[in-house]
Amino acid sequence: MSEHHLATDPTLPEPAELNAIFERAEMRDLYRISYLANALVLPVYDGIKHDFGLTRGEYLLIFCLAHLPVLTAQDVARMSKRPRNTISRAVHRMLAEGFIDRALDPEDGRQARLTITDKGRALHRTVVRRWLAREAEALAVLDDAERAALDRILQKLVTHAADLPE
């Protein structure tokens, strides 16, 4: 096995050894959460873009409006922690596609009230199936107790994170 590889030692890791980083990372949980978002969530967004032509920000806008009846662009920016200009662009493209409606607020000339259309809701229903399928794949390794624990803990983290600075 070892015959004068000194110049190139240590050896390159086997594919399976690459997972060692999950245990060695100093910020274990943050690193894993970030990895999971990449590995689980981004492929779904890729599929959404491929099949429906929506970017991440555009779909997020529809998703928010599918769960809260009226929102301003600012609301969406706050909910998704994304810059306002991204949302602004998404609003105009989703308007053009007929997925959302927009009504100037008669009581505050600055803001506009955004709502989802039937077409937008139909899109949402279709896409949600993909999310649920992906989630089921991902959570397949967990038993019921673990799922319940994860659910409870994530909810705590998420409401706390919403209050953190930056």
Partner DNA sequence: GACATTTAGTTCCATTTGGAACAAAATGGA
Partner DNA sequence: TCCATTTTGTTCCAAATGGAACTAAATGTC
Q: In the window 21-40, what residues touch DNA (CB under 7 A)?
A: none
Closest to DNA by CB, 46 or 51: 46
The answer to whether 84 contacts a copy of itself (rule: CB under 8 A) is no
| 101 backbone dihedrals φ, ψ, rounded to 5° | -115, 160
How far apart are alpha carbons 20 and 70 in whole angstroms?
A: 46
Residue among 23 and 96 whose Cβ is closer to a copy of itself: 23
148 binds, among DNA, a copy of itself, none (CB under 5 to 8 A by kind): none
Residue 114, judged by CB atoms within 10 A of its CB (0-12, 13-18, 19+), counts as buried
Shortest Å, Cβ 54 to DNA: 8
Q: Which residues, in sequence order, are CB contacts of 117 under 8 Å at separation 6+?
A: 98, 99, 100, 101
What is the distance between the alpha carbons of residues 166 and 81, in angstroms, rounded to a whole number?
A: 9
From a copy of itself, DNA, none, interface partner of 121 (C-beta below 5 to 8 A by class): none
48 binds a copy of itself (CB under 8 A): no
CA distance 162 to 166: 10
Q: How far is the CB of 82 from a copy of itself (least distance, A)?
A: 7
- Given 2, 58, 78, 88, the residue binding a copy of itself (CB under 8 A): 78
Mask: binding to DNA, 55-74, rule CB under 7 A, as x and -?
xxx--------------xxx
Count CA atoms within 13 Å of residue 104 on its CB side: 4
Under the rule (CB under 7 A), what is the footprint of DNA? 46, 49, 55-57, 72-75, 82-86, 88-89, 91-92, 107-112
